[in-house]
């Protein structure tokens, strides 16, 4: 039976829209760690504080997790308490929308609170990813990425090890405090980008268009991440940090980014 052209066209448009939107669909999963009472808690640290040795020492990890990252969560909860309509939104979505005047107007968010959410909501999702992407120190390169991701990395950088080198080089050039990322770009390519302060590549219209993407890997280059052990020698921290990368989660984050499950990356 012949189908009316309009049905074929509609189906084609829906399929195209899904392709175009797949990198930015944000289903609500309430991550990182949503307590169910409209307040967030710290996402769990996968290993004990001393589980990241020798790359990151126990005391740095403890201070980083409890004091630096922990403080931001209190601020986010305080701001959200003023905006009941924002509370049901996934945090990654909320952070992504902060650069949109329409969104800010719709929820009547004051300029001061936009800045608080940008810095502290950014900190929350950035650190949630950072905790997730690190595991026990291991100098071996990964062996079990899917063929698709392995090929994409190979075509872009040559190998996972070279990708990490490029990430470390970019992280080394961040002026002051910030992050370096491997992102999944809206066109499906992979790219290394950096952001200042607690900005995240999801923050459309806040970060430049060529930085936008879904973060798969993120490395914290704020001094609080390394100063106790490495002092001012950031490159030494970065060299060691690369051996903590949990490639299982790089793969997971790639799969989630591709299917638009962006909020789940922060679980
Ligand atoms: C890790 O550091 C914290 C804070 O400095 C300390 O309370 C804890 O006992 C240390 N744990 C180990 C296993 O060294
Ligand atoms: C928007 O928020 C301000 C306080 O920041 C308040 O004075 C104003 O009434 C609010 N407007 C609406 C439409 O809710
Ligand atoms: C280190 O990584 C390699 C390659 O993925 C793996 O075979 C090995 O079991 C890992 N070692 C530890 C201690 O996890
Ligand atoms: C490789 O994949 C298996 C099965 O998914 C997983 O259990 C294992 O931890 C992975 N190894 C590494 C080094 O990622
Ligand atoms: Fe940090």
Q: For 149-202, write each residue's pLDDT tens digit.
A: 999 999 999 999 999 999 999 999 999 999 999 999 999 999 999 999 999 999
Q: Is the pLDDT confidence value at 68 over 60?
A: yes
Q: Which residue lies with its CA nearest to atom 5 of ligand 2?
A: 110
| Among 248, 254, 255, residue to substitute to test ligand 4 (most atoms within 8 Å of Cβ) | 248
Q: What is the pLDDT of residue 264?
A: 83
Tokens for 24?
Answer: 């930015």
Atom of ligand 2 nearest to the CA of 110: 5
- Rounded CA separation 216/143 (Å): 18
CB of residue 136 inside a 6 A radius of ligand 3 = yes
Q: List 141's β-bridge partners, or say none.
A: none
- Rounded CA separation 194/182 (Å): 9
- Rounded CA separation 213/192 (Å): 10
Q: Is the pLDDT confidence value at 243 over 50?
A: yes
Question: Is 244 strand, coil or helix?
Answer: helix
Q: Is the pLDDT confidence value at 141 over 90?
A: no
Q: What is the pLDDT of residue 35?
A: 54
Q: Is the pLDDT confidence value at 104 over 60?
A: yes
pLDDT grade for 28, boundaries at 50, 70 and 90: very low
pTM of model > 0.85: yes
Q: Is the pLDDT confidence value at 8 over 50?
A: no
Q: What is the pLDDT of residue 42?
A: 77
Tokens for 34?
Answer: 């949503």
CB of residue 50 inside a 6 A radius of ligand 1 = yes
Centroid of ligand 3 to alpha carbon of 94 (angstroms): 37
227: exposed, middle or buried (C-beta count within 10 Å: 0-12, 13-18, 19+)?
middle
Query: What value does the mean pLDDT take over residues 7-21?
Result: 35
Q: What is the pLDDT of residue 7?
A: 40
Q: Is the pLDDT confidence value at 89 over 90?
A: no
Q: 44 or 204: whose pLDDT is higher?
A: 204
pLDDT grade for 1, boundaries at 50, 70 and 90: very low
Q: What percent of the chain has pLDDT over 90?
A: 74
Q: What is the pLDDT of residue 6?
A: 45
Residue 64 counted as an annotated binding residue: yes
Residue 68 counted as an annotated binding residue: no
């Amino acid at each position: 039976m012949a189908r009316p052209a309009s049905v074929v066209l509609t189906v084609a448009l829906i399929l195209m829209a899904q392709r175009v939107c797949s990198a930015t669909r944000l289903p609500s999963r309430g991550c990182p760690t949503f307590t169910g009472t409209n307040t967030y808690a710290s996402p769990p640290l996968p290993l004990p504080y001393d589980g990241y040795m020798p790359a990151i020492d126990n005391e740095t990890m403890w201070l980083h997790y409890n004091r630096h990252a922990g403080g931001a969560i209190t601020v986010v909860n305080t701001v959200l308490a003023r905006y009941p309509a924002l509370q049901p939104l996934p945090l990654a979505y909320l952070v992504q929308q902060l650069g949109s005047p329409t969104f800010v107007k719709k929820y009547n968010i004051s300029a001061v609170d936009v800045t608080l959410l940008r810095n502290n909501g950014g900190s929350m999702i950035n650190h949630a990813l950072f905790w997730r992407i690190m595991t026990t120190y291991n100098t071996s390169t990964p062996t079990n990425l899917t063929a698709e991701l392995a090929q994409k990395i190979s075509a872009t950088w040559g190998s996972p090890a070279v990708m990490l080198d490029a990430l470390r080089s970019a992280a080394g050039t961040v002026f002051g405090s910030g992050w370096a990322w491997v992102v999944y770009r809206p066109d499906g390519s992979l790219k290394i980008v950096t952001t200042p302060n607690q900005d995240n590549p999801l923050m459309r219209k806040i970060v430049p268009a060529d930085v936008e993407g879904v973060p798969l890997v993120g490395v914290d280059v704020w001094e609080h991440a390394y100063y106790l052990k490495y002092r001012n020698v950031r490159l030494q921290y970065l060299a060691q940090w690369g051996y903590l990368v949990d490639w299982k989660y790089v793969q997971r984050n790639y799969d989630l980014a591709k299917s638009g499950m962006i909020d789940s990356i922060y679980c």
